[in-house]
A and B are shown apart, each in its own frame.
Chain A
Amino acid sequence: MIVFQGVSKHYEGHGSALEDMSFEIDPGEFVSLAGRSGAGKSTIIKLLIGEEKPSKGRVFFGQYEVNKIHDSDLPAFRRHIGVVFQDFRLLPTKNAYENVAFALEVAGRPQREIAELVPQVLDMVGLGDKMTNFPNELSGGERQRVAIARAMIHRPEVVIADEPTGNLDPFHTFEIVKLLEKINQLGTTVVLATHDKEVINSLERRVITLDKGRIVRDEQKGKYILV
């Protein structure tokens, strides 16, 4: 489903972020990308959603070759993916309901379907009673749950989470990880980038460990081990 073939990424004047990286992720997998900040986790995600293009190599997502998608086709491509960020990236002028609904609205889904689906998903992430709250009226954990609801509501093939727990305390971190596991159980592929040892060790799933832009370990049921 996701394939990286000999991918390198160099930033001009900043050296290389990725060096000759190859790996595959199958449908339905739950994969953690582990490593210190600067190891290349975020670069992999940016390449995956077409925010940046590789300097060398190819990136595939399903039938798409991501590095060849034209700018104007990127929006449609991104509707196959749900992304969760460390800084939540909710729209501040929209309330929780509208933020989640937005992912369906951009896909041109009918209003009736949106009105039915959004409360269900918000219920699922435990925010059924805070649908009309704006992001600035929600706690960090609640915001991230809205973001997760938005990332999954359009039933993407993959949910990508880039340090989703980076801004959260241990209690809320655990909540978010539980949610991601739940999404995975529903059949969605999950890619989780994190440097949180506790998170990775509690998951007991596949771990790709990165260091200085290279893969140093790729294990099923991996642990977080620093080089």
Chain B
Amino acid sequence: MFTIISRIFHFGFKNFWRNGWLSTATIAIMTLSLFVFMNLIMFGVVTRAAASSIQDKIDISVYFTTNTSEDQILSIQQSLQSLSEVKSVDYISRDQALAIFQENHANDPTISQAINELATNPLEASLNVKANDPSQYGAIADYLNSASLSPYIDSVSYTQNQDVIDRLAKIVRNVQTGGFALTILLAIIAGLVVYNTVRLAIYSNREEIGIMRVVGASNSLVRGPYVVEGMIWGGIGAIVSLLLIAPGVYFVSPYLNEFIPSLNMFQYFYTHLAQLLLYALLFGVGIGSFSSFFAVRRYLRN
């Protein structure tokens, strides 16, 4: 048993080496497919980051009438926080609102002057509510519009921005499901391309398979070396595709960072290198050996 297994690996490595051109061509296709596969993973990271940064920008604000006391607002904040849909609630007092307003309009002398001329602070205190999922804003707004809260509340921004929020929520959803579907589709295509390439490589070896069988080689001894070869092709393809993708990520990373400030692509790549290599190896070695296994099968009859 051990002799057979060691011979299978020995033959596999030797064939790989001696079929130099065939191996090179197959590895090139493998690399290309794995390159696509790795890009899909990185693409997934970007879409997730983009979606969550959009999601982060969505919130609703609740403005309270100026005669609502701070205690009342804080108790409403607590009741909001106890809702399962709510991710966070930030309280902005009337003084803070004024400070923010002044800061935003520091360069506009007319407005600053107008504010200074007023005796009282005209701005309302507010709560800034973020939901776990963009589609949950409707439910939160409904809660805020309930009769028990209406005496304190002046306005809820959701009612004004409902269209925009819903549309953003839809975009986030579409980007996520679309990206996932595209990933699956392209991964299947990459898999089929590899399978076909391996099939061709095995096809060019069909006579040798016949010879081995006539000499009395068992099926596992005929098939084993090809499976080993498939694993080598996949393994090398995985490593080369990672080497190819690294400089690409390095150059693209700063540009992506401008669009999505929360995303540092290169750092992600670097910290997840082991994981990415594992994925690539699993995909490459898996599909390489699987393809060989099935491609040889048809020549093992008789």
A residues at B contact (CB < 8 Å): 49-52, 71-72, 74-79, 81, 83, 89-93, 102-103, 105-108, 110-111, 150, 154
Query: Is the CB–CB distance between B208 and A78 below 8 Å?
Result: no
Across the interface, name the chain B residue whose C-beta is closest to A52.
B302
CB-defined contacts of B211 to chain A, threshold 8 Å? 89-91
CB-defined contacts of B218 to chain A, threshold 8 Å? 75-76, 106
Does any Cβ of A come within 8 Å of B3's Cβ? Answer: yes
Contact of A76 among B210, B212, B216, B302 (CB under 8 A): B216
Query: Is the CB–CB distance between B15 and A106 below 8 Å?
Result: no
Query: Is the CB–CB distance between A106 and B217 below 8 Å?
Result: yes
Contact of B302 among A51, A107, A154 (CB under 8 A): A51
Best-surrounded residue of A51, A78, A102 (most CB of chain B within 10 A)? A102
Given A77-B216, A103-B216, A154-B216, list of 14 further CB < 8 A pairs? A52-B302, A75-B218, A76-B216, A78-B213, A83-B215, A90-B211, A91-B211, A92-B208, A93-B15, A105-B7, A106-B217, A106-B221, A108-B4, A150-B215
Query: Is the CB–CB distance between A106 and B215 below 8 Å?
Result: yes
CB-defined contacts of B208 to chain A, threshold 8 Å? 91-93
Contact of A49 among B18, B207, B214, B219 (CB under 8 A): B214
Please report the C-alpha to C-alpha distance between residue A52 and residue B221 in the assembled complex, in whole angstroms.
Answer: 22
The 6 A-B pairs of least Cβ separation, nearest first, read A79-B216, A78-B216, A106-B217, A93-B18, A75-B218, A89-B211
Does any Cβ of A come within 8 Å of B19's Cβ? Answer: yes
CB-defined contacts of B19 to chain A, threshold 8 Å? 93
Across the interface, name the chain B residue whose C-beta is closest to A72.
B219
Contact of A83 among B212, B214, B217, B301 (CB under 8 A): B214
Please report the C-alpha to C-alpha distance between residue A49 and residue B217 in the assembled complex, in whole angstroms.
Answer: 13
CB-defined contacts of A78 to chain B, threshold 8 Å? 213-216
Nearest-Cβ distance from residue B231 to partner chain A, whole angstroms: 18
CB-defined contacts of B212 to chain A, threshold 8 Å? 91, 102, 106
* Chain B: interface residue total (CB-CB under 8 A): 22
CB-defined contacts of B15 to chain A, threshold 8 Å? 93
Nearest-Cβ distance from residue A85 to partner chain B, whole angstroms: 8
Nearest-Cβ distance from residue A191 to partner chain B, whole angstroms: 15
CB-defined contacts of B7 to chain A, threshold 8 Å? 105
Query: Is the CB–CB distance between B3 and A75 below 8 Å?
Result: no
Across the interface, name the chain A residue whose C-beta is closest to B1.
A108
Across the interface, name the chain B residue whose C-beta is closest to A150.
B215
CB-defined contacts of A74 to chain B, threshold 8 Å? 213, 302
Nearest-Cβ distance from residue A59 to partner chain B, whole angstroms: 15
Please report the C-alpha to C-alpha distance between residue A93 and residue B213 in the assembled complex, in whole angstroms.
Answer: 16
CB-defined contacts of A111 to chain B, threshold 8 Å? 3
CB-defined contacts of B215 to chain A, threshold 8 Å? 78, 83, 102-103, 106, 150
CB-defined contacts of A71 to chain B, threshold 8 Å? 301-302
Nearest-Cβ distance from residue A143 to partner chain B, whole angstroms: 13
Across the interface, name the chain A residue whose C-beta is closest to B3.
A108
What 0/1 pattern do residues 260 to 302 of B give for CB contact below 8 A with A?
0000000000000000000000000000000000000000011
Across the interface, name the chain A residue whose C-beta is closest to B301.
A71
Best-surrounded residue of A52, A92, A93 (most CB of chain B within 10 A)? A93
Please report the C-alpha to C-alpha distance between residue A12 and residue B214 in the assembled complex, in whole angstroms.
Answer: 24
Across the interface, name the chain B residue whose C-beta is closest to A105.
B7
B171-217 contacts to A, CB under 8 A, are: 207-208, 210-217
CB-defined contacts of A75 to chain B, threshold 8 Å? 213, 216-219
Please report the C-alpha to C-alpha distance between residue A93 and residue B273 in the assembled complex, in whole angstroms.
Answer: 37
Please report the C-alpha to C-alpha distance between residue A103 and residue B221 in the assembled complex, in whole angstroms.
Answer: 12
Listed by A's residue number, 16 A-B pairs whose Cβ atoms lie within 8 Å are A71-B301, A75-B213, A75-B216, A75-B218, A75-B219, A76-B216, A76-B218, A78-B214, A79-B216, A83-B215, A91-B208, A93-B15, A93-B19, A103-B216, A106-B218, A106-B221
